[in-house]
Amino acid sequence: MSSFSLPELAYSYDALEPHIDKMTMEIHHTKHHNGYVTKLNAAVDGTELEGKTLEELMADVSSHPTAVRNNGGGHFNHSLFWSIMKGGGSSPSGEIADALNSAFGSFDSFKDDFSNAAATRFGSGWAWLIVSDGSLAITSTPNQDNPLMDVVEKKGTPILGLDVWEHAYYLKYQNRRPEYIDNWFNVINWDEVANRYATAK
Ligand code: MN3
């Protein structure tokens, strides 16, 4: 019995067109994410880690095999990523909009700072909006690390994440990561981010 399974998407592979293309979504979900799930199960099943939640594994990931860090992170990060996107996107409103304005001055200023974190992450990794000690902050991590892990500089609860591995954008955008980042803002599901914020703050 495998501990973890690949989550279904709440939308079709072409739902995020034209900003994120169907083929990228299909390969990203069925090959990349599925690969992290398969390798994570291989790393934990039959060991003392079997039955632990992802959050539990992340909290003391430095004491686990590297395969748990890479593939547990990969599974957590992609599960979050799919959930915070939807076709047509949305705009932040209510409490999360107020919190963004309060932390960053304005939504445009938040977008600039987040985009800069995503664009300047060297090589493969992620940009994050986190709740840390009750406040919003922007961070980025290499590879499949995330702010729940005990190995990162700044810990927190991620409520929005952007995958800047080349596999997330290369088919459509090639080397133009900033263009991918800019277009991704059109498919953010701010209702889901608001829900995560309400739970984490
Ligand atoms: Mn990815």
pLDDT tens-place values along the chain, 201 residues long: 569 999 999 999 999 999 999 999 999 999 999 999 999 999 999 999 999 999 999 999 999 999 999 999 999 999 999 999 999 999 999 999 999 999 999 999 999 999 999 999 999 999 999 999 999 999 999 999 999 999 999 999 999 999 999 999 999 999 999 999 999 999 999 999 999 999 999
CA of 165 to the centre of ligand 1 (A): 6
Longest dimension (CA), the chain: 49
Q: Please say whether the beta carbons of 163 and 20 come within 8 A.
A: no
Q: Please say whether the beta carbons of 103 and 131 come within 8 A.
A: no
Neighbours of ion ligand 1 (CB under 5 A): 163, 165, 168
Output DSSP code: residue 161: E
CA of 21 to the centre of ligand 1 (A): 14
CA of 103 to the centre of ligand 1 (A): 28
CA of 124 to the centre of ligand 1 (A): 9
CA of 45 to the centre of ligand 1 (A): 23
Express each pLDDT in 84-102 by its tens digit. 999 999 999 999 999 999 9
The set of residues, in sequence order, having a beta carbon less than 8 Å from that of 46 and lying 6+ positions away, is: none
CA of 138 to the centre of ligand 1 (A): 19
Express each pLDDT in 98-127 by its tens digit. 999 999 999 999 999 999 999 999 999 999
CA of 200 to the centre of ligand 1 (A): 24
Output DSSP code: residue 166: G
User: Which secondary-structure segment (H or E) carries 139?
Assistant: strand 135-142
